[in-house]
């Protein structure tokens, strides 16, 4: 049994060449090789030897501008790990060269004929669309699995229920091992004796051994094996065996690890159990004020964080360092029109593991008693709310989101929400009414752009970073705000008045 660390999830699931061939609008035709190749991306090259410029997994597109030796060309493409070769008919060749077809057949390289009316860019666009559809399906699968695992964790016998839900979602076997390798609980399909022994050996690799890895994977009897160390220091390990390994399986297993770590943590007092119950209710989508009944007396601090080391265990490790349990992974940040505050599951199309689809480090939400200190953590950027009562958790969530955005814009490790100051001396209702009137001429996204720009002292570059837009877009929006409000935004008094108003809407 070979053991290796799990490879990072690719930016998007690969596309089957067969799915691309089924697109009638493209008119593609398979001339050689198998149709089930996995295409990770598209690359166009007219070089006689494209080998140095290929990463592997490409659908390589060419019109044969430089094709002196088809046999050597195919050998180099196969050596580079390309998934398939797309050959465009016209303007160089009227038909695909027979020597190229024969070479691809000998080397098992899928060869696709691209008709004259189909531009290479149309093929590339079709691949990206198929990838986006596959990515959406995978994210939905992960989200549904997270909800299923959270529901299982709230049942009377939570550990077997979580294992059962995990085995069902992955279509395999899930087992929890004690530190000595003895099965603690198991669910799913039965495993052959040889596979069971291999899984126990793999679990020993990630057990309580100091400096050991948090997870490892391998194979046995044609099955994919994985093992994950649980937190808590008691040596428990989760083992999983499946027939295949999908891109989201590592993430789903990571969610199970977090829940099982909570459920099996030693010396759980009544207050800790009550808090974990409330956190599970939040994961299930319960309103914060409803879940707050099980949290005990406030006040509370909400923390938004972004960063980590790209593994599913980064967020739980941060939570452990701050002395709390994970509330939500993948959805932290300032609330938007699509994701309301403190609504687990509002991560939308974001990953719940080590990174967002575009490679951005994962964002998480945490909830701590206000008496617990929040300090900077290596590798993380933190936004911290002011202390809030149970009924104001949504307010604290919004405060933490804004603090995180400010921390990212200013490249600070930790930013805390600032209290109202002199603005709190004014009647809230009167201030809000004035603010609505003053800001009525502008709407989103102008309001948010103005708020961010003012908070960063009119710095164009930092505002662009905070809003993830181009600096010229920031200039255009601020100029538009100045026109609609009929105000000179270079005037310090005007900026002060607008900043005061923005804090009341």
Domain boundaries, the chain: 29-117, 136-263, 296-419, 423-502
Q: What is the mean pLDDT of residues 480-502?
A: 89
Distance CA 207, CA 390 (A): 39
What pLDDT does residue 276 have? 58
Reading the block at residue 84, the tokens are: 């398939």
Tens of pLDDT, residue by residue over 32-62, are 999 989 999 899 999 999 999 898 999 999 9
Question: CA-based angle 327:329:335, to the nearest 5?
Answer: 90
Q: What is the mean pLDDT of residues 293-316?
A: 73
Q: What is the mean pLDDT of residues 180-190?
A: 85
Q: Are 148 and 136 spatial neighbours (Cβ–Cβ below 8 Å)?
A: no
| Paired strand residues for 414 | 382
Q: Is 299 helix (H, G, I), strand (E, B) or coil?
A: coil
Q: What is the mean pLDDT of residues 371-388?
A: 89
Tens of pLDDT, residue by residue over 307-362, are 876 655 667 677 777 777 556 655 443 333 233 334 333 333 333 333 343 344 44
Instruction: Kindly report the backbone phi and psi dihedral angles of residue 369, in degrees, each rounded to the nearest multiple of 5, phi listed first.
Output: -60, 140
Q: Which residues contact 94 (CB under 8 A, 6 or more apart)?
A: none
Q: Does 278 score more than 70 pLDDT?
A: no
Q: Over pLDDT 90: what percentage of the chain?
A: 29
Helices (H), 14-97: 17-21, 70-79
In the sheet with 58-62, reading across from the earlier edge strand, the strands are 29-32, 111-114, 84-88, 58-62, 41-44
Q: Does 8 score more than 60 pLDDT?
A: no
Helix, strand, coil tally for the chain in percent (to 5): 45, 20, 40
What pLDDT does residue 211 have? 58
Q: Are 173 and 190 spatial neighbours (Cβ–Cβ below 8 Å)?
A: yes
- Strands 237-242 and 3-4 turn out to be unpaired
**H/E stretch holding 391:** none
Average pLDDT value over all residues in the chain: 80
Reading the block at residue 328, the tokens are: 């939500």
Q: Does 270 score more than 70 pLDDT?
A: no
Lowest mean pLDDT among 32-46, 97-111, 194-208, 292-306: 292-306
Instruction: Kindly report the backbone phi and psi dihedral angles of residue 4, in degrees, each rounded to the nearest multiple of 5, phi listed first.
Output: -150, 155
Confidence of residue 64 (pLDDT cuts 50, 70, 90): very high
Q: What is the largest CA-CA distance in the chain?
A: 84
What pLDDT does residue 364 have? 83
Reading the block at residue 136, the tokens are: 């959406």
Reading the block at residue 388, the tokens are: 């809030």
User: Per CATH, which fold does 136-263 belong to?
Assistant: Beta-Lactamase (3.30.450)
Q: Which residues contact 248 (CB under 8 A, 6 or more apart)?
A: 9, 138, 139, 141, 142, 145
What pLDDT does residue 58 have? 94
Tens of pLDDT, residue by residue over 413-450, are 999 987 766 665 566 677 788 888 889 899 877 999 99
What pLDDT does residue 310 have? 62
What pLDDT does residue 221 have? 80
Q: What is the mean pLDDT of residues 189-199?
A: 87
Tens of pLDDT, residue by residue over 240-266, are 999 888 877 888 888 888 888 877 765
Q: Which of 13, 36, 7 has its CA nearest to residue 127? A: 13
Report the number of secondary-structure helices (H) and strands (E) in the chain.
16, 18
Is the bond into 281 cis (omega within 30 degrees of 0)? Answer: no
What pLDDT does residue 501 have? 87
- Strands 215-220 and 237-242 turn out to be unpaired
What pLDDT does residue 2 have? 41
Helices (H), 312-424: 314-322, 393-410
What pLDDT does residue 294 have? 58
What pLDDT does residue 39 have? 93
Residue reference for tokens 């409803």:
290
Reading the block at residue 445, the tokens are: 């996204």
CATH number of the structural domain 29-117: 3.40.1390.20
Distance CA 389, CA 481 (A): 35
Helices (H), 264-367: 270-283, 288-291, 314-322
Name the pTM for this structure: 0.50
Q: Which residues contact 473 (CB under 8 A, 6 or more apart)?
A: 464
Confidence of residue 97 (pLDDT cuts 50, 70, 90): very high
Question: CA-based angle 397:399:403, to the nearest 5?
Answer: 115
Q: How many CB atoms lie within 10 A of CB 290?
A: 12
Instruction: Kindly report the backbone phi and psi dihedral angles of residue 24, in degrees, each rounded to the nearest multiple of 5, phi listed first.
Output: -65, -30
Tens of pLDDT, residue by residue over 104-148, are 999 999 999 999 999 999 999 999 999 888 888 888 888 888 888
User: Per CATH, which fold does 423-502 belong to?
Assistant: Arc Repressor Mutant, subunit A (1.10.10)
**H/E stretch holding 366:** strand 363-369
Q: Is 226 helix (H, G, I), strand (E, B) or coil?
A: strand
Instruction: State how far Cα 32 lies from the chain centre.
Output: 37
Q: How many CB atoms lie within 10 A of CB 435?
A: 18
Instruction: State how far Cα 151 lies from the chain centre.
Output: 21
Q: Are 241 and 223 spatial neighbours (Cβ–Cβ below 8 Å)?
A: yes
């Amino acid at each position: 049994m070979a053991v290796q660390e799990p490879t990072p999830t690719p930016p998007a699931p690969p596309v089957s060449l067969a799915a691309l061939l089924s697109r009638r609008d493209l008119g593609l035709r398979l001339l050689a090789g198998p149709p089930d190749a996995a295409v990770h991306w598209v690359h166009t090259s007219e070089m006689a030897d494209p080998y140095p410029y290929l990463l592997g997994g490409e659908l390589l597109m060419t019109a044969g501008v430089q094709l002196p030796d088809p046999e050597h060309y195919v050998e180099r493409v196969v050596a580079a790990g390309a998934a398939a070769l797309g050959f465009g008919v016209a303007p160089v060749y009227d038909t695909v060269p027979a020597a190229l077809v024969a070479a691809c057949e000998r080397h098992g390289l899928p060869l696709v004929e691209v008709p004259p009316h189909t531009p290479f860019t149309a093929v590339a666009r079709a691949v990206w669309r198929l990838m986006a559809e596959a990515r959406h399906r995978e994210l939905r699968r992960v989200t549904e699995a997270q909800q299923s695992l959270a529901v299982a964790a709230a049942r009377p016998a939570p550990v077997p229920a979580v294992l059962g839900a995990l085995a069902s979602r992955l279509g395999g076997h899930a087992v929890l091992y004690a530190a000595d390798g003895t099965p603690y609980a198991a669910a799913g399909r039965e495993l052959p004796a040889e596979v069971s022994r291999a899984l126990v050996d793999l679990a020993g690799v990630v057990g309580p051994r100091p400096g050991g890895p948090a997870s490892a994977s391998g194979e046995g009897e044609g099955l994919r094996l994985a093992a994950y160390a649980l937190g808590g220091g008691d040596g428990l390990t989760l083992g999983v065996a499946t027939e295949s390994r999908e891109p989201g399986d590592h993430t789903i297993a990571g969610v199970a690890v977090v829940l099982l770590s909570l459920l099996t943590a030693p010396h759980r007092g009544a207050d800790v159990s009550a808090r974990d119950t409330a956190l599970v209710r939040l994961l299930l989508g319960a309103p914060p004020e409803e879940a707050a009944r099980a949290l005990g007396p406030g006040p509370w601090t909400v923390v938004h964080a972004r960063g980590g080391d790209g593994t599913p265990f980064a967020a739980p490790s941060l939570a452990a360092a701050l002395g709390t349990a994970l509330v939500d992974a993948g959805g932290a940040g300032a609330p938007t029109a699509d994701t309301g505050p403190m609504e687990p599951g509002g991560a939308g199309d974001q990953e719940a593991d080590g990174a967002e689809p575009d490679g951005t480090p994962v964002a998480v939400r945490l909830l701590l008693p206000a008496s617990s200190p929040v300090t900077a953590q290596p590798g993380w950027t933190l936004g911290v709310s002011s202390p809030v009562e149970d009924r104001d958790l949504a307010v604290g969530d919004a405060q933490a989101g804004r603090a995180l955005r400010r921390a990212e814009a200013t490249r600070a490790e930790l930013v805390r929400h600032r209290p109202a100051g002199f603005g709190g001396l004014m009647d809230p209702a009167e201030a809000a009414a004035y603010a609505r009137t003053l800001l009525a001429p502008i709407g989103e996204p102008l309001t948010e752009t103005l708020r961010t720009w003012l908070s960063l002292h009119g710095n164009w570059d930092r505002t662009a970073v905070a809003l993830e837009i181009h600096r010229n877009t920031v200039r255009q929006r601020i100029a538009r705000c100045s026109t609609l409000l009929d105000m000179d935004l270079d005037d310090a008094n005007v900026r002060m008045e607008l900043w005061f108003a923005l804090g009341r809407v």
